[in-house]
Structure 1
């Protein structure tokens, strides 16, 4: 079972790994859903996690708010992706939508081209896509070699227990062609229940291995 811990600073990473984290997702500003971490944080995280062979992913998101990005913001994301690769990170976490809450295909193709050699997770921007179009979005992401989709299965404010039926539909539709990574409200207390219900091998959260201080 792979437990991906979402952290917003380096300080808690040794404790997270000691508690059983198998992968780290680096974010800054979790209060707005996460933005790109600093180069320094990425560097120190890689130095520590590299010794312990713990994979590290970084969110590439230039600001909070929506997931509709202009050309300048996409250029910033491109530079950040280069930094992440140069620092040896295993992968990045991205998500771009257009004004209609559909995948911004042009922006994503550009980012994916810049991300060669890195694992790609499409983040919870996925939950903004209308439910009836999410299956089509899964197919598009599979065709473009995205490795996993991080999703809460519904609006961020509702408990994960209420979104499990929809998450199960997504897992069944994906059918091992892409990893559906459930997140948002999963803790060390309910992780096993989520795993058993969905039949997944990976879970994500800030408290997936308990509260970190």
Structure 2
């Protein structure tokens, strides 16, 4: 099982690597759900990840709150993506949702194009998409080359055992080669149990290994 840790500093990254983590998602301000980190930290993290031969994903999220970004915010995200690409980042995570709870396809295309040839992950903005629109969103994301979707299966104030049924539905509705990665309330204590219930082999959390 692949374990991805969400973290916000280099010291925690080094500890996670020493603890056997498979992949790191680098953020700023985890207390706000994760925002775009400073480029200096990203540059250092790239070197550490390369030396340890582990995957690094970098968060691109310009502010806390909803995922309905305006033109200036999308441009901010696009510039961050291009900067991270220049620093050697191989994988970025972002998500855009419109005011009606649809996947914001036009804005997503702009960011996906900027990210090439980096891998793109759609983060928990997925849970802000109206459930009725989620099957179509998954198909679209897969068609546009997104490799993985991070989801809690509901609002983050709901416990993971309350959202497990919808997570099972998301796994079932996803295209076969699109990885569904559960997160939000998954820890080193319950990760194996949740992965088995969902039939997935990748899990995400800030406490996904014991540090």
Q: TM-score range by the shorter chain?
A: over 0.9
Shift of 1:138: 0.6
Superposition RMSD in Å:
1.0
Q: Secondary structure at the match of 2:140?
A: helix
1:167 maps onto 2:167 in alignment? yes
For the residues of structure 2 that align with 1:190 and 1:59, how far apart are their CA atoms?
Answer: 25
Shift of 1:175: 4.6
**Equivalent residues in 2 for 1:120-199, closer than 5 Å:** 120-199=120-199
Q: Secondary structure at the match of 1:69?
A: coil
Q: Secondary structure at the match of 1:24?
A: strand
For the residues of structure 2 that align with 1:162 and 1:65, how far apart are their CA atoms?
Answer: 23
> TM-score, normalising length from structure 2?
0.97
Q: Which residue of 2 aligns with 1:6?
A: 6
Q: Secondary structure at the match of 1:150?
A: strand
Shift of 1:135: 0.9
Provide Cα deviations, 1:24-46, integer angstroms capped at 9, x if missing partner.
Answer: 00010111111100111101111
Q: In the comparison of the two structures, how many residue pairs are matched? A: 211
Shift of 1:176: 2.3
CA contact 1:2–1:23 (8 Å) conserved in 2? yes
1:207 maps onto 2:207 in alignment? yes
For the residues of structure 2 that align with 1:195 and 1:90, how far apart are their CA atoms?
Answer: 26
Q: Which residue of 2 aligns with 1:90?
A: 90
> TM-score, normalising length from structure 1?
0.96
Unaligned runs of 5+ in 2: none
For the residues of structure 1 that align with 2:184 and 2:50, how far apart are their CA atoms?
Answer: 27
Q: Which residue of 1 aligns with 2:47?
A: 47
- 4+ runs deviating over 4 angstroms: none
For the residues of structure 2 that align with 1:183 and 1:68, how far apart are their CA atoms?
Answer: 21
Q: Which residue of 2 aligns with 1:19?
A: 19
Unaligned runs of 5+ in 1: none
Q: Secondary structure at the match of 2:195?
A: helix
